[in-house]
Amino acid sequence: MNRPLKLGIAGLGTVGTGLLQLLAEHGPRLAGNVGRTIEVVGVCARSRSKPRSVATEAIAWFDEAARLAADPAIDVFVELIGGEDGAAKAAVEAALKAGKPVVTANKALLAKHGADLATLAEQQGVALQFEAAVAGGIPVIKTLREALAGNQLRRVYGILNGTCNYILTQMQEEHRAFADVLAEAQQKGYAEADPTFDIDGFDTAHKLALLTSLAFGTRVAFDQIDIEGIRTITQADIEAADDLGYRVKLLGVALMTDSGIEQRVHPAMVPKHSAIAEVSGVTNCVAIDGDYCGNLLLAGAGAGAKATASAVASDILDIARGDTPPPFGVPAGQLKAYRRAKLGQHQGAYYVRLSVFDRPGAMASIAGRVGERGVSLESIVQKRPPGAQIGIAARGRPGAPTPVVLITHETTEEAIRGALSSISEDGNVSERPQMIRIEPL
């Protein structure tokens, strides 16, 4: 058997302790699989005294991640700190410059600096592995980079954030308001005290940027993603979607078009009968469309100690076997410049919810604005609030607002947004219109 592979692990939170548990439980079997033992010889975390479910007393402790990364005693540096800059970036760079392979779960770091770090890794002839950065235990990075390398991929999309999927699932199944479910998610540990990163779509966007680069061979382009979160989704939207035969999901979508690549993160209505509509709770899924492989759907645990530790361990085992693939599937210098699809040219059907003042001419004005933009309507549904009466003023307004749902035929995003802007300016609605894309999948 070859000499041991010695690890330095920076970050002993949920994933770091999960990895230590996995290595302790499966160590002998893994050694037999790769022909060498795997040993943790150094660790680094914010606090030495914090209670942990695994023993670390026998492992060398480092107060600075960068020092651990460059230490001659380790062969592989495992970065589980998080964050797009700061200690995580400094430590990963230190390891690569020292000629050490790196395993990371840090999607934010890679979404911002992925191409530069890949270049540095290739210059040093070492691996930069990040299976755990996207979708937890789902092996989507290896699937895109290796298993589907023979395909021309057309689209990759999915549910990439368990927090948002949990919230939307609970709103659907328990008929509860967004704020109530978010508070519950925070109590259960599914959402952070500050949930902005998750519910505003940035976590999904970081992951989508990496999938896009792997799928289409382009430089990582996080700053080219159109991002919308789920803050504005109401119970009225969830119920309307159900009535229309849809479920609401937060999707990350990357699509190759004639004019370039679409990258977008947004709530979407997906058909109830689709496989992705059945992905509930904190589960993630990634769908891939290729010319030879057809349509694939990978689903599973997108976060958590065991699922993410599983992904980190798979990268460590690849390094133990001597595998050093280009991080993004092709050499960093051969990654193509990102070409963004023309703004507003995305085509599809849309759900629109308006709160329309109940007064003469309001609906005619709205229909006129929609028609001016060439948007054709498939249906209009008006639901009067309980107890409301036509013509009775609400707090001095000419007529109480009434919920109106519009479903469009296929149109461009530019056209529907232009129509909604004009409708808002006309003063016939009491609040900003809600627009959700309908994804036929």
pLDDT (tens digit per residue) in 160-194: 999 999 999 999 999 999 999 999 999 988 888 89
pLDDT range class, residue 389, cuts 50, 70, 90 = very low
Return the active site residues. 207
Per-residue pLDDT at 223:
95
Q: Is residue 195 part of a domain?
A: yes
Q: Are residues 106 and 233 in the same domain?
A: no
| Alpha carbon distances (Å) from 82 to 212, 283, 417 | 21, 21, 36
Task: Express as a percent the part of the chain with pLDDT over 90.
Answer: 85
Which of the listed residues 285, 301, 317 is the one where a domain comes to its end?
301
Q: What is the pLDDT of residues 25-57, one digit of tens each?
A: 999 999 999 999 999 999 999 888 788 888 888
Q: Is residue 86 part of a domain?
A: yes
Q: Are residues 110 and 190 in the same domain?
A: no
Which of the listed residues 106, 133, 160 is the one where a domain comes to its end?
133
pLDDT range class, residue 7, cuts 50, 70, 90 = very high
The closest alpha carbon to 407, from 365, 375, 362, belongs to 375
Give the chain's mean pLDDT.
Answer: 92
Q: What is the pLDDT of residues 156-167, one digit of tens each?
A: 999 999 999 999
> Which CATH number do you get for residue 405?
3.30.70.260
Q: Is residue 218 part of a domain?
A: yes
Q: Which residues contact 361 (CB under 8 A, 6 or more apart)?
A: none
> Which CATH number do you get for residue 190?
3.30.360.10
**397 pLDDT higher than 70:** no
Per-residue pLDDT at 396:
41
Q: Are residues 126 and 255 in the same domain?
A: no
Amino acid letter, residue 406: L
Lowest-confidence range among 261-265, 304-308, 385-389, 424-428? 385-389
Strand partners, 412: 347
Q: Are residues 112 and 175 in the same domain?
A: no
Q: How many CA atoms lie within 13 A of 235 on its CB side?
A: 11
Q: Which residue range is the domain that position 49 belongs to? A: 5-133
Query: How far apart, in whole angstroms, are the C-alpha atoms of residue 186 and residue 181?
Result: 9
Q: Are residues 126 and 155 in the same domain?
A: no
Per-residue pLDDT at 390:
41
Per-residue pLDDT at 55:
84
Q: Which residues contact 46 (CB under 8 A, 6 or more apart)?
A: none
Task: Express as a percent the part of the chain with pLDDT over 70.
Answer: 95
Q: What is the pLDDT of residues 75-129, one digit of tens each?
A: 999 999 999 999 999 999 999 999 999 999 999 999 999 999 999 999 999 999 9
| Residue 245 burial (CB count, 10 A) | 11
Query: How far apart, in whole angstroms, are the C-alpha atoms of residue 84 and residue 210?
Result: 14
When pLDDT is averaged across residues 404-428 and rounded to a whole number, the result is 94
Per-residue pLDDT at 355:
94
**403 pLDDT higher than 70:** yes
pTM score of the predicted model: 0.93
Per-residue pLDDT at 343:
66
Q: Are residues 107 and 215 in the same domain?
A: no
Per-residue pLDDT at 189:
83
Question: In this predicted model, which residue has the larger pLDDT, 200 or 48?
Answer: 200
Q: Are residues 117 and 145 in the same domain?
A: no
> Which CATH number do you get for residue 85?
3.40.50.720
Per-residue pLDDT at 108:
97
Q: Are residues 182 and 79 in the same domain?
A: no
Which of the listed residues 133, 166, 189 is the one where a domain comes to its end?
133
Total structural domains within the chain = 3
Q: Are residues 289 and 165 in the same domain?
A: yes
CB < 8 Å & 24+ apart, contacts of 242-246: 242/172, 244/269, 244/351, 244/407, 245/271, 245/272, 246/270, 246/271, 246/272, 246/277, 246/351, 246/438
Per-residue pLDDT at 393:
38
pLDDT range class, residue 399, cuts 50, 70, 90 = low
Q: Which residues contact 324 (CB under 8 A, 6 or more apart)?
A: 101, 125, 126, 127
Q: Are residues 96 and 33 in the same domain?
A: yes
Q: What is the pLDDT of residues 218-231, one digit of tens each?
A: 999 999 999 999 99
Per-residue pLDDT at 47:
84
Q: Do 269 and 437 form a contact (C-beta atoms < 8 A)? A: yes
The closest alpha carbon to 19, from 440, 368, 305, 355, belongs to 305
Per-residue pLDDT at 233:
97
Q: Is residue 245 part of a domain?
A: yes
